[in-house]
Amino acid sequence: MQELKNDLLLRALKGEELQRPPVWMMRQAGRYLPEFIALRDQYDFFTRCQTPELATEITVQPIRRFPLDAAILFSDILVVPQAMGMNFEMKHGIGPWLENPIRTVEQVQNVIVPDVEETLGYVFEAIKLTKKELDNKIPLIGFAGSPWTILCYCIEGRGSKSFDIAKGFCFQHPEAAHELLQKITDTTIAYLLKKAEMGCNVIQIFDSWGGMLSPKDYDEFSWKYIEQIVNAVSEVRPVTVFAKGCWFALEKMSQSKASALGVDWTVTPEVARQLTNNSITLQGNFDPSRLLSKPEKIQEMVKEMIDGFGTTRYIANLGHGILPNVPVENAQAFIQAVVNYRKD
C-alpha cells in the first residue's frame, strides 16, 4: 500500500506517542450534511449503498468539509445478511425491515454462506473509487457488523429496544443460533479480508447490540465470534472493535488481537483505561447528543475528554453515530477542537 500523507490514525493504533489524537466521527458520511440530504432525496438507501459512485461521493463529502484524519466507507452492516439471501429493506419511519425474519431451525439451515466477490462486488468497487478520490491523503476505514448484531436483525426482522425475539430464539435454540452466528462470521471474515485487499487501511467491527446481553451470554453469543473475525483480519490490518454498552467486557477484549476498542459515553476515560490496563488504544467516547450543545461548550468538553484519555493510544470520536439533527457547525466545532488540541 502506498504511504499516506496523514497517517495519524495508524500511528495511534500502533500506540505511538502523539501530540494530539486523530479524529473521525461514526456516521460522519451521512445524514447531518446538506449535500448528503440532497442525495438521500434522490435515491433510496440501499441504492446509495449499492451504487459505487454514490457510495464514494457520500464517503468523501465530510472529507471536503472538515480536517478529518480518516474516511469511513459509506455502506451498511445489513449488506452482509443481504448477500446471505435475506432481503432487508430500509422502510421510511421504521428503519431496517425484513419481511420474513428467521424464526425456525430450518430457516437457519437454509441460510447460505455466499461468494462475497459475487454478492458484494459493489462494495469493493466503491473502495476502489474512494481510494482514487482520497489520493492517499488519509486512511480509509472499512466496517462490518458483529455476528450477534446481524443475528438480532435477522431474527427480529427490524430494530428493537430489547431484541427479545432474537434473544428468545438463541436461548430456545442455541445450536441453531450458533450455526447462524458461524455462517455470519464466515461471511464477514471473507468480506473484511477482501475489503482489506481492495485498500481499506483499518477495519472496524460494530457490535451495536452487544449491550443487550448479560456478560455470560455476551461471551457465548457475541465475543467468541467477534474474536474469530479479529484473529483472521488482524493478520492483514489493524482492527477496532466497538461494542456499545459492553464496558463490562473491556478487560477481556483488551487481551485480544484488536488494535483498538471503541467506548461509549457511559464509561469514563479513567475507568476504561483501568479496565484495559492502559494496554490498548481506545476510541470514543463523546455523547452524540452533546453535539447539540453550543459550539464553545463542545470545544470545552472535547478538551476535557482528551485530557482524560491522553494523546497517546487514543482516537477522538463519538460514543455512537452522529445524530441527523446536529448542526454542521457543531460537528465542525468537535473536529476542530481535536485538531487544535494542545496539552496545557
Would 184 be classed as within a structural domain?
yes
Backbone φ and ψ for 267, nearest 5 degrees, come out as: -130, 140
Q: Would you say 92 is a known binding-site residue?
A: no
Q: Is residue 224 part of a domain?
A: yes
The pLDDT, as a whole number, for residue 344 is 72
Q: How many domains does the chain have?
A: 1
309 within domain boundaries: yes
Q: Output the CA–CA distances (angstroms, integers) from residue 123 to 37, 40, 61, 191, in the order listed.
A: 21, 18, 17, 9
| 27 labelled binding-site residue | yes
Q: Is 31 annotated as a binding residue?
A: yes
The answer to whether residue 27 is catalytic is yes
2 domain residue, yes or no: no
Residue 153 annotated as part of some ligand binding site:
yes
- What predicted TM-score, i.e. pTM, was given to this entire model? 0.98
Q: Domain range spanning residue 84? A: 8-339
Residue 344 included in any domain: no
162 is in an annotated binding site: no
Which one of 31, 65, 103, 158 is the catalytic residue?
Answer: 31
334 within domain boundaries: yes
Q: Of the candidates 262, 321, 239, 253, which has an alpha carbon nearest to the alpha carbon of residue 288?
A: 321
Consult the annotation and say whether 313 binds a ligand: no
- Is residue 130 in a domain? yes
**51-74: b (≥16 Cβ within 10 Å) or e:** bbebbbbbbbbbbeebebbbbbbb
pLDDT of residue 77: 98
Instruction: Give the active site residue among 7, 32, 153, 186.
Output: 153
Q: 45: domain CATH number?
A: 3.20.20.210
259 labelled binding-site residue: no
Instruction: Say which of 11, 27, 65, 103 is annotated catalytic.
Output: 27
pLDDT in tens, the chain (344 residues): 779 999 999 999 999 999 999 999 999 999 999 999 999 999 999 999 999 999 999 999 999 999 999 999 999 999 999 999 999 999 999 999 999 999 999 999 999 999 999 999 999 999 999 999 999 999 999 999 999 999 999 999 999 999 999 999 999 999 999 999 999 999 999 999 999 999 999 999 999 999 999 999 999 999 999 999 999 999 999 999 999 999 999 999 999 999 999 999 999 999 999 999 999 999 999 999 999 999 999 999 999 999 999 999 999 999 999 999 999 999 999 999 999 999 87
The answer as to whether 147 is a domain residue is yes
Q: Is 31 a catalytic residue?
A: yes
Q: Is 76 a catalytic residue?
A: yes
Q: Which of 7, 76, 186, 264 is catalytic?
A: 76
Tell me whether residue 159 is annotated as binding.
Answer: no
